[in-house]
Amino acid sequence: MNTFYKILMPVLALLFSWQAYALTLSTPADLALDVSPKSPRPGTSFTILAKSLSFDMVRAKFTWLLNGKNIASGVGLIEQNLQAGKIGSEMNIMVDAISADGISYEASTKIMVSDIDFVIYPLTYTPNFYRGSALATPGSVVEIIAVPHLFFGGERLRAQNLIYEWSIDDKLFRNQSGGGKNKFSIKLADVGNSDYIVTFRVSTLDGEISAQKSVRLKTTMPEILFYETNAL
Look up the CATH number of the domain holding residue 101.
2.60.40.10
- Look at 12-21, 76-85, 208-217 and tell me which has the smallest mean pLDDT: 12-21
Each residue of 165-177: pLDDT tens digit? 999 988 999 999 9
Q: Are 107 and 170 members of one domain?
A: no
Number of structural domains the chain divides into: 2
Task: Give the residue from 86, 180, 191 showing the smallest Cα distance to 138.
Answer: 191
User: What average pLDDT score do residues 179-204 get?
Assistant: 90
Q: Are 158 and 192 members of one domain?
A: yes
User: What average pLDDT score do residues 132-150 get?
Assistant: 90
Say what the pLDDT of residue 222 is. Answer: 79
What Cα–Cα distance (Å) separates residue 2 from each residue in 8, 14, 16, 153? 10, 19, 21, 68
Say what the pLDDT of residue 27 is. Answer: 56
Of 58, 93, 112, which residue constitutes the final position of a domain?
112
Q: Are 154 and 106 members of one domain?
A: no
- Point out which residues pair with 72 in neighbouring strands: 64
Of 51, 85, 112, which residue constitutes the final position of a domain?
112
Geometric angle at alpha carbon 42, from 37 and 46, rounded to 5°: 30
Read off the pTM. 0.70
Q: Are 135 and 211 members of one domain?
A: yes
**In-domain check, residue 20:** no
Q: Are 68 and 32 members of one domain?
A: yes
Q: What are phi and psi of 4, to 5 degrees?
A: -60, -45
Average pLDDT of the chain is: 84
Q: Are 139 and 88 members of one domain?
A: no
**In-domain check, residue 228:** no
Whether the CB-CB separation of 64 and 70 falls below 8 Å is answered with: yes
Gap between the Cα atoms of 166 and 149, Å rounded: 17
Q: Are 124 and 138 members of one domain?
A: yes
Q: Are 99 and 131 members of one domain?
A: no
**In-domain check, residue 156:** yes
- Domain carrying residue 56: 25-112
